[in-house]
């Protein structure tokens, strides 16, 4: 069955044909594919990157070099954190197609810089710049997809855009990782730059023109951060998703050093993770549209249980693959749940809310990767980042419980005393 092309909430028919909508969604998802490739390809190539860019450290200690190379992952995530709310706030009034095309140009330039710049510091700087348009692209693309599908399909709209990211983990990341292992990690990033260039052409041709938000102002968009529930939602992504990245950033050394498999198996592990993400993304969009709070809680419990499976079973191939598959399923389902939750509580500051979801998730990316590096550098072994991930995910579940409890109590107060209802009631 094709995408839901029903009209908006006012029953007005969708202004575009089914074929136009499908092509536009595919173009937007292609951007997610390229972003997923640029974000995750470093994980499988981390040993190659460390060996070339940090030769002295690598010769002295492989684990120290890997921990230091993990800064590349953190730098990209930091770029997302900075760029998502900033670009969203200043770009909310712009036509969405024009903004998407500008973001794709930035992706191409920064990814090419990653390929050609010499030295570890310059490459890390290029990865930071490459992260700047990430959150804004996903946020604006999700809003564009929602306009095509209708406001009742926000979870499915987010899932369609994120489908490119999950496909990247099934096909793009493993294939590009294998090419990078054979031809060099810089070649891998050159392929990613080509994917962004192809996305630019696809969006230019297939995505209909549409206005931005003419009522948007920087202060209106930023006003979302005056609401406590917005900060709860940001914390859900930052802390809860940090658990995933603490473990997954170091999946290559876990595969080779803990499970005892060869480096050639790493792309297969990435494929399994991508298959899990594809399953979770498909199910998650449907699940979210039927209850955001329930989806958040169920998915958090699922990620926590999956990390425990990986922690206990990583010494065996079966445990490794089952754990990675389950982590992919529940983390992918959690992502649209957090996105729709943040859009709900931001109330009207839609552009910055949609973009800041990815800012929050990449705070988790950066924090998780950094904490994983700390425990590895401390000599605690490659299972230690998974333990950190379990703790962070459990804390995210606690934050979700507190946030929902506060919201329920505020709602009851608003019903009993309308004069006391606050902005988060």
Q: Where are the domains of the chain?
A: 18-420
CATH class of the 18-420 domain in this structure: mainly alpha
Entry field: residues in the chain:
425
Tokens of 330: 């529940």
DSSP code per residue over 7-33:
--TT-PPPSS-HHHHHHHHHHHHHHHH
Overall pTM surpassing 0.85 (yes/no): no
CB 248 within 8 A of CB 300: no
CA 329 – CA 153 distance, rounded (Å): 21
What are the two backbone dihedrals, phi and then psi, of residue 12, each rounded to the nearest 5 degrees? Answer: -70, 130
Per-residue tens of pLDDT for the chain, all 425 residues: 444 444 333 334 446 777 788 899 999 999 999 998 998 888 778 889 989 998 888 888 887 888 788 888 878 888 888 888 888 888 877 888 999 999 999 999 999 999 999 889 999 999 999 999 998 898 888 888 888 877 666 677 777 887 888 788 778 888 898 899 899 999 999 999 999 999 999 999 999 887 666 666 677 777 777 788 888 888 888 887 788 888 888 888 899 999 988 888 888 888 888 888 888 888 877 777 777 888 889 989 999 999 999 999 999 999 999 999 999 899 888 888 887 887 778 776 777 777 777 778 778 877 888 888 888 888 888 999 999 999 999 998 999 889 888 887 776 665 555 444 444 43
Distance of CA 9 to the CA centre of its chain: 28
CB 155 within 8 A of CB 371: no
């Amino acid at each position: 069955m094709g995408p839901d092309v029903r009209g908006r909430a006012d029953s007005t028919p969708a202004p575009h044909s089914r074929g136009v909508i499908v092509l536009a969604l595919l173009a937007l998802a292609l951007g997610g594919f390229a972003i997923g490739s640029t974000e995750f390809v470093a994980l499988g190539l981390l040993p190659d990157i460390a060996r070339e860019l940090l030769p002295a450290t690598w010769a002295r200690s492989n684990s120290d070099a890997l921990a230091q190379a993990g800064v590349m992952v953190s730098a990209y995530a930091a770029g997302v954190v900075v760029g998502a709310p900033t670009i969203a706030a200043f770009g909310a009034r712009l036509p969405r197609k024009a903004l998407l095309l500008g973001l794709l140009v930035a992706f191409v330039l920064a990814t090419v810089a990653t390929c050609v710049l010499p030295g570890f510091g310059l490459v890390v700087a290029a990865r930071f710049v490459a992260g700047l348009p990430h959150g804004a692209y996903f946020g604006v693309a999700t809003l564009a997809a929602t306009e095509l599908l209708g406001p009742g399909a926000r979870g499915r709209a987010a899932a369609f855009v994120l489908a490119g990211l999950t496909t990247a983990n099934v096909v793009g990341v493993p294939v590009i990782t294998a090419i990078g292992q054979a031809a060099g990690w810089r070649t891998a990033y050159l392929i990613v730059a080509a994917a962004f260039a192809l996305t630019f052409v696809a969006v230019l041709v297939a995505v209909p023109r549409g206005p931005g938000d003419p009522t948007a102002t920087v202060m209106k968009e930023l006003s979302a951060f005056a609401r406590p529930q917005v900060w709860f939602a940001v914390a859900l992504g930052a802390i809860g998703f940090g658990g995933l990245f603490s473990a997954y950033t170091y999946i290559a050394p876990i595969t080779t050093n803990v499970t005892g498999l060869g480096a050639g198996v790493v792309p297969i592990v990435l494929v399994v993770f991508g298959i899990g993400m594809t399953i979770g993304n498909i199910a998650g969009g449907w699940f979210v549209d039927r209850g955001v709070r329930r989806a958040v809680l169920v998915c958090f419990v699922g990620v926590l249980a999956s990390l425990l499976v990986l922690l206990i079973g990583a010494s065996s191939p079966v445990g490794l693959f089952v754990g990675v598959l389950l982590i992919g399923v529940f983390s992918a389902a959690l992502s649209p749940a957090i996105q729709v939750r943040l859009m709900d509580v931001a109330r009207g500051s839609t552009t910055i809310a949609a973009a800041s979801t990815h800012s929050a998730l990449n705070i988790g990316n950066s924090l998780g990767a950094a904490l994983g590096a700390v425990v590895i550098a401390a000599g605690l072994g490659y299972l230690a980042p998974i333990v950190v991930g379990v703790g962070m995910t459990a804390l995210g579940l606690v934050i979700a419980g507190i946030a929902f409890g506060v919201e329920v109590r505020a709602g009851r107060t608003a019903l009993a005393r309308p004069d006391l209802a606050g902005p988060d009631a």
